Amino acid sequence: MAEHREFFYRRLHSLLGVIPIGLFVVQHLIVNHFAVYGEEQFNTAANFMANLPFVLVLETFVIYLPILFHAVLGVYIVFVARNNAKRYGYLRNWLFLLQRVTGVITLIFIAWHVWETRVQVALGNVEVSFSLMEDILSNPFMVAFYIVGILSTTFHLANGLWGFAVSWGILQSPRSQKVITYGTLLVFVVISYIGIRTIVKFAYGI
């Protein structure tokens, strides 16, 4: 019974990592990317998202609670996982190890990002705007922190697509698993570019 329960939780963990968390991450990166087209475009996009009907309910049940469950179970998986990358050295094993490492980094990054933005907005200290992110990223340390955080998040999402497809029985043959491995790495490159390009705009205005 315990094994069946853990199997169910792990499948739910992988599902939530894609729907809704993965979809939210991609949407968030795309909205932020409006900064590349100018301050006004970013502020318009950010204000639209902030003023959606029932936004607090949506954030709670579509973002925060799924992330909380995914994070708690993810930390448990990190501690019980058997990492064998050094012993075997196969690409898939290294990706398995990186998935666990980036999970921890991503959790720290998201917690800090939410504190700097959503929590400060709720406290009435700031408003989500182009100038807010510009101020945050005026510090070179924060630029590096955000770049590492974005790369960690996008890798964790992209590589997590492979885990989702395997755990849900979508990928069964070794060949299909190998093909999708390279496909998810391509996804990582694309969404990372979107995120990093935005950071460059906020930090350096280019």
Q: pLDDT digits over 12-60, tens only? A: 999 999 999 999 999 999 999 999 999 999 999 999 998 888 888 999 9
| Long-range contact pairs involving 28-36 (C-beta distance under 8 Å, separation at least 24) | 29/150, 29/154, 29/191, 29/194, 29/195, 29/198, 30/194, 32/133, 32/195, 32/198, 33/194, 33/195, 33/197, 33/198, 35/130, 35/133, 35/198, 35/201, 35/202, 36/197, 36/198, 36/201
**Beta carbons of 74 and 156 less than 8 angstroms apart:** no
Q: Assign 84 a pLDDT band (cuts: 50, 70, 90).
A: low
Which residues have CB under 8 Å from 166's CB, separation 6+? 177
**Beta carbons of 17 and 107 less than 8 angstroms apart:** no
Percent of the chain's residues with pLDDT above 90: 72
pLDDT digits (tens, 9 = 90+) for 91-116: 888 898 899 999 999 999 999 999 99
Matching residue, tokens 């894609």:
18
The conformational region for residue 124 under phi > 0 = left, psi -120 to 50 = alpha, else beta, is left
- Buried residues in 63-91 as b, exposed as e (16+ CB within 10 A): beebbeebbebbeeeeeeeeeeeeeeeee
- DSSP-based three-state secondary structure for 45: helix
* Side chain identity at residue 116, one-letter code: E
Domain tally for the chain? 1
Q: Assign 7 a pLDDT band (cuts: 50, 70, 90).
A: confident
Taking alpha carbons only, the member of 70, 36, 43, 30 closest to residue 163 is: 70
pLDDT at 160: 95
At 9, which CATH number? 1.20.1300.10
Mean pLDDT of 72-100: 77
* Side chain identity at residue 191, one-letter code: I
Percent of the chain's residues with pLDDT above 70: 94
- Domain span at 136: 2-204
